[in-house]
Every structure is written in C-alpha cells, then in structure tokens.
Amino acid sequence: MVIMVKLGAQSYSFRKFSYEKAVEMVASLNLNYIEAFPGHLPPEEKNIELSKKLEKEYGVKLIAHGVNLMPADEKTLRNLFEFAYKAGIEVLTADPEPDAFNLLDKLVEEYDIAVAIHNHGPGHRYATAEEVLKAVENHHKLIGMCMDTGHLVRAEKDPVKAVEILGDRLHSIHLKDVGEDKHDTVLGEGIIDFENFFKKLKESNLLTRIPIVIEYELEPENPLPGIRKSLNYILKYLK
C-alpha cells in the first residue's frame, strides 16, 4: 500500500481471535500497523518478544496500545511505559485518573511516548475534545487525545471541528462511522464526513504523523469483510 499514513487496525476488531490471528488478518489487509487492546496483549515482558516476533513474521508494527486505565500510581504506570518503550510503541491510548496527570507529565517526557485520552461517548468523563483539552491544560504536549470518531458523533460533536481545535494535542484516531441512529456501521455508510475529516488532518499536518486505526466493532465472528469495505472506502482519501 503506497501511502505514508500510519494506517492500521485496532485489535479489538478481532477480539474473538488470538492476537497472532489478529496480526495475521491485519497483514491480509495490506496494513502495516496495529493497535493492541490489553485483553489481546497485556503489558507484560513476555509480550514484548511476541510482538517483535509477529512484526518480523507479518510486517505489522505494534504502534499503539490501549485503552489503558491510568491510576496515579508510579509503579503501575512506569511498568506500562517500560513495556511500551521496549515494544516500540508510539502511543498509549488511555483513560487516566484526574490525579495522574502530574505523574504522566514526568513519564511522557522521560520515555517520549504519547498518552492519548480516549473518548468513550456521552457520559464519559472525557467525552469530547473540549473536555480532553480542559483536562490536559498546562500539562505536557505529549498528553492529548485519541479521537474515536463514532463516540464523538454520539456526543453530538463534529470530528472535523475537533481536529481543528485539538491541533497537536491529537495523538491518534480510532476510525468509526455511525448511522443516523448513532449505531456503528461500515465506514462510508454512515453520517461522518470523512472527506473533509481527512482534508482537515492534512491541513493540520497530522495525516502522516499520528496512528490512524480502523476499529470495527460489528460482526466480531467475521470482521474482515466489513473492515475491508471500510478500508477501500477511506483509501480514496489517502492516496
């Protein structure tokens, strides 16, 4: 795939399969990146070698990991950052406790790994870009947002506008589409304006800098057809 975008898939899309099978399916889509969710790849020493072995075998790089709960506990967080550093992970997708930010300031600086706060939709403490920006105000620039486009629309927010207001606080993206009923659907079959979304990412100099992963939560027993259809839709905006 001749594009410079760090385009991949969230392994949660393949949650009914092993992590190795998830990597294999990502490779079958001609994608070079994966974000692992902790249920697939717990942040443990043994999984560092596993991820490196699978990257060598399938050509799929582990670029992000999460969503990780982040308490204000240095031992817990340092173990997570050590795992990420050794595995070559660029972004830790996160749901940090409000009292963890001062500790995260120190760790993102030390390890040069971004923390991207994931929005989980209406009612979540970080449901919108505005709420994330408020939380990270006066904190390290490597602490920002992982934008879940589907959850953002469920929170009645525009992903295009969110890219604009986040700027360099946008550290990764989970690509989802939703229909008029706000339920997940294949990318391109819903109401999200992906053409202008990708234009705004390019204008903001983010399109080739941050991990962008498809997260397809439908059809967990057979996710490949929906992911392939989603991928084919967005490629026309990325080539």
pLDDT in tens, 70-114: 999 999 999 999 999 999 999 999 999 999 999 999 999 999 999
CATH number, residue 212: 3.20.20.150
Report yes or no on 1 lying in a domain: no
Report yes or no on 2 lying in a domain: no
pLDDT in tens, 2-27: 458 999 999 999 999 999 999 999 99
Report yes or no on 113 lying in a domain: yes
Report yes or no on 65 lying in a domain: yes
Check residue 2 and give its pLDDT: 44
Domain count, the chain: 1
Report yes or no on 231 lying in a domain: yes
Domain that holds residue 98: 7-238
Report yes or no on 90 lying in a domain: yes
pTM over 0.95: yes
pLDDT in tens, 181-210: 999 999 999 999 999 999 999 999 999 999
* Residues 206, 84: Cα–Cα separation, whole Å: 22
